[in-house]
Structures are given as structure tokens and as C-alpha cells.
Amino acid sequence: MNDGQPVKLGGIGGVVALPEWRGRGLGTATLERAAAFMQDELQVAFGLLICGPDMVPFYRRLGWQVVEGPLTFDQPGGKVVFDEVTMVLPCAEQEWPNGEIDLCGLPW
């Protein structure tokens, strides 16, 4: 949910390449395929990921956009507020609704 409005999302998590494999386009190819899967197969409105500020330029080059939060999600101990960077990838002709983002469950 985003500010009370349900939004169908596809989540990306755990993207990492070992240092010796970086710079070969593997991350780009993986994320491009994931974006196509979210759009074509899952038919979601947006992809969503969280990352550190140092990764924003990489994701931005692939069409991801920084959005304001806060982002909350469930954990076994209760709700958690994530205050790092939240990014979305438009997968449909829809504007991202500004406001609080609640995954309404555990993160992927």
C-alpha cells in the first residue's frame, strides 16, 4: 500500500556481484531480465527495491527512480521502518502515488 492506495509491486532483493565479476554487465543483464519479467509475466505496476545511497546511480541508469517513504514492512518482532533509499521502476502507464509505503507483510 502506498498512502492508503493498493499498488501491485514486484520486488527485487539481494542483488550483488562478487568484486572480481563486476564491470561485466551481469548485474545490468539480470536487472533488465527481472524488469521484463515483472512487466510481461507478473504485470505489476512497479518494481520496488531498497538499497544504499551508493547504488542509486547504478539503478537510476536502468530506469529506477528514488521515491519518498517512509517504507514499512513486517518482521517477526513487529513493523520495521526502513529509512535508506527506496526506488521504483515504472512497469505500466501509472504515476507513483506519493506517501507512506507499507508492504503489508514480510519483505521478499
- With 70 as the cut, is the pLDDT of residue 2 above it? no
So what's the pLDDT on residue 72?
94
- The pTM score is 0.89
pLDDT in tens, 52-88: 999 999 999 999 999 998 999 999 999 999 888 999 9
The 3 state secondary structure assigned to the chain is CECCECCCEEECCCCCCCHHHCCCCHHHHHHHHHHHHHHHHHCCCEEEEEECHHHHHHHHHCCCEEECCCEEEEECCEEEEECCEEEEEECCCCCCCCCCEECCCCCC
All domains of the chain in start order, with CATH: 9-102 (3.40.630.30)
pLDDT in tens, 32-59: 999 999 999 999 999 999 999 999 999 9
User: Percentage of the chain surpassing pLDDT 90?
Assistant: 70
